[in-house]
């Protein structure tokens, strides 16, 4: 499928049609560019990890790409999109680390099934009072990764 903006051939799962015109389909790269044109910002958290090797193995097993530049810092991406970064910090242990991040996705249940199939310690998927259907996963350094789907989706619902 070709992106209506850049003209590149893209995986159909990575393009979305405009709400007002189903013939205009944009890829993630062009949507990201458009978001910045509209004044949007990207925020990437840095999660502290006490063991970079263990963190890299954990996040690769969870299906992410991990780009390490040295023993102290790494980018974690998914389909070339930044998700969060990892920063070495010896104090980050499960008993002392309260850091984490939230991944919002329209397919939280599919994420859950994939992570459980990979043998990772995901909690059950639950509906939360803050309007999300979510579960969580703790990494070896004690970072809590919440993954959830909004119960009141956007204009395409
Ligand atoms: Zn494009």
In the reported structure, the alpha carbon of residue 37 is separated from the centroid of ligand 1 by a whole-number distance in angstroms of 14
Look at residue 53 and tell me whether its pLDDT is greater than 60: yes
Q: Tokens representing 139?
A: 């990494």
Look at residue 157 and tell me whether its pLDDT is greater than 50: no
Q: What is the CATH class of 46-150?
A: alpha beta
In the reported structure, the alpha carbon of residue 149 is separated from the centroid of ligand 1 by a whole-number distance in angstroms of 25
Q: What is the pLDDT of residues 101-147, one digit of tens each?
A: 999 998 899 999 999 999 999 999 999 999 999 999 999 999 999 99
Residues 6+ apart with CB under 8 A from 75: 66, 67, 69, 82, 85
If you average pLDDT over residues 65-88, what whole number do you get?
A: 93
Q: Tokens representing 27?
A: 């890829």
Q: Tokens representing 28?
A: 């993630």
Where do the domains of the chain lie? 1-41, 46-150
Helices (H) and strands (E) in the chain, counts: 3, 10
Residue 141 near residue 55 (C-beta atoms within 8 A) = yes
């Amino acid at each position: 499928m070709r992106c209506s903006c850049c003209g590149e051939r893209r995986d159909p799962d990575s393009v979305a049609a405009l709400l007002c015109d189903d013939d205009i389909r944009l890829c993630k790269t062009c949507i990201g560019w458009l978001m910045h044109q509209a004044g949007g910002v990207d925020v990437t958290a840095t999660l502290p990890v006490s063991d970079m090797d263990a963190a890299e193995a954990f996040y690769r097993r969870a299906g992410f790409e991990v780009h390490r530049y040295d023993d102290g810092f790494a980018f974690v991406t998914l389909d070339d999109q930044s998700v969060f970064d990892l920063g070495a910090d010896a104090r980050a242990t499960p008993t002392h680390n309260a850091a984490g991040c939230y991944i919002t996705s329209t397919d939280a249940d599919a994420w859950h099934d994939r992570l459980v199939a990979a043998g990772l310690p995901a909690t059950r998927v639950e509906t939360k009072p803050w309007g999300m259907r979510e579960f969580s996963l703790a990494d070896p350094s004690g970072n809590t990764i919440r993954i959830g789907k909004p119960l009141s989706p956007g204009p395409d619902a």
